[in-house]
Amino acid sequence: MNRSSELRVPAMEITQGKGRVFYSFAVDGKRLQAFTAISRIRRDDSQALIGYQRPEVLSHIQEIRKYLESPNPLLPNAIVIAFTNRVEFVPEPNADGEFTRFGTLIIPLNGESPETEKPGFVVDGQQRMAAIREAEIGRFPICATAFIAADESEQREPETNGKLPSGLQKRRFPAQLLSRLNSDLDSPLRGIIRTPTSPEGVVQDNSILKMLENSLSDGVLYRYQDSGSGKADVDKMLTVVKQFWSATALSFPKAWGLPPTKSRLMHGAGIVSMGFLMDAIAERHRQIEVPLEEHFRPDLDALNGICRWTDGYWNFGPGVQRKWNEVQNTSKDVQLLSNYLMVQYKALVWSRPAS
């Protein structure tokens, strides 16, 4: 019979908004693995995306570990943990502030329990946790920020409607869209996006996420969000993105579906730059609630002669010429390519009457 115990840590409860609370505390990083599991991104039997984290990046972990083993290391950033409601906060009497209460977090422990039954999941800080675990040091106190989820589905599922702290919500929503784009039968990007669960894909998931985040921030996808309630029309968002990339595949067939080394259209710089073009075309057809392939395609076709996705040279302006594969996935090159496509689009298409 397993013998359960508990860990009691002094903590501060902080209240935000309408009764939303989280907890701040310190704990020996070597003890984190006793009550937390790593919630890696994976798919369940229905192909739904599960988990917050990517697989551990070994090189980064080694860098952190080396630093931790140095004479005087400092890791001020907190690890973020999602607890199940098995974790309890007991406030101290007469220790309340305007937004805070001091007390004790009571965390159940069971050294023999499987990962899935541990009361905490690491939402952010996987690599720091791994580095502390592997470092040749006796102990290392670490800051932790935690919230207690109403149930396990809210704790584990990045695709649920459970309300999480806003930073996590902003991170998980583009991942939800990406999951659908990579799995829906009607998606032109189906199976093309490389993720931990689809390693055969050719487009890096970070590139798709960046494209989606840009559009959600101030592009066409922003239209389908209710800033008051925070609700989003996911179906309309997916329709626009699918229709745009379907049109892109038809307008640039020789560049479509190739590895980034053979096509800059499938490269990070191309994906992000084309995302800005998606927003611009949708803006030109703003009178249409949800632009379709038939609206995107003519505008993209007009750019066929100036794009150098697989051969030739990009003519970015006087004295600025790049071989097709010299465009890199850097902020400078992404901006260079994005500006070029936008200038060309406005010169060749913008003045035309919208359909």
169-221 tens-digit pLDDT? 556 788 889 999 999 999 999 999 998 778 889 999 999 999 999 998 889 99
Contacts of 300 (CB under 8 A, 6+ apart): 247, 248, 251, 252, 277, 281
Look at residue 218 in the predicted model and tell me its pLDDT: 82
Q: Is 316 exposed, middle or buried (0-12, 13-18, 19+ CB in 10 A)?
A: middle
Look at residue 45 in the predicted model and tell me its pLDDT: 52
Could you tell me if 123 and 81 are in contact, meaning their C-beta atoms sit under 8 angstroms apart?
yes
Look at residue 160 in the predicted model and tell me its pLDDT: 35
With a cut of 90, say whether residue 334 has pLDDT above it: yes
Cα–Cα distance for residue pair 159/173, rounded to 1 Å: 7
Average pLDDT over residues 136-155: 81
How many residues belong to the chain?
355
Look at residue 2 in the predicted model and tell me its pLDDT: 44
Cα–Cα distance for residue pair 340/346, rounded to 1 Å: 10
Confidence of residue 126 (pLDDT cuts 50, 70, 90): confident
DSSP E strands in the chain: the ranges are 5-16, 20-28, 36-38, 42-43, 49-50, 79-83, 88-96, 100-109, 120-124, 141-148, 193-194, 203-204, 313-317, 320-323
Helical H runs in 69-165?
A: 126-134, 152-156
Least confident window among 6-15, 144-153, 157-166 = 157-166
Cα–Cα distance for residue pair 310/345, rounded to 1 Å: 20
Cα–Cα distance for residue pair 187/180, rounded to 1 Å: 8
Look at residue 296 in the predicted model and tell me its pLDDT: 96
With a cut of 70, say whether residue 336 has pLDDT above it: yes
Look at residue 11 in the predicted model and tell me its pLDDT: 95
Burial of 209-246, coded b for 16+ CB within 10 Å and e otherwise, reads bbbbbbbbeebbbebbeeeeeeebeeeebbbbbbbbbb
Average pLDDT over residues 296-317: 94
pLDDT above 90 as % of the chain:
57
Q: Which two tokens mark 284?
A: 């030109």
The DSSP symbol for 135 reads S
Confidence of residue 4 (pLDDT cuts 50, 70, 90): low
Choice between 284 and 353, residue whose per-residue pLDDT is larger: 284
Contacts of 83 (CB under 8 A, 6+ apart): 107, 119, 120, 146, 147, 148, 149, 155
Local structure of 285: helix, strand or coil: coil
Choice between 164 and 276, residue whose per-residue pLDDT is larger: 276
Q: Which two tokens mark 60?
A: 């980064």
Cα–Cα distance for residue pair 268/206, rounded to 1 Å: 8
With a cut of 60, say whether residue 346 has pLDDT above it: yes
Average pLDDT over residues 64-92: 91
Local structure of 37: helix, strand or coil: strand
With a cut of 50, say whether residue 15 has pLDDT above it: yes
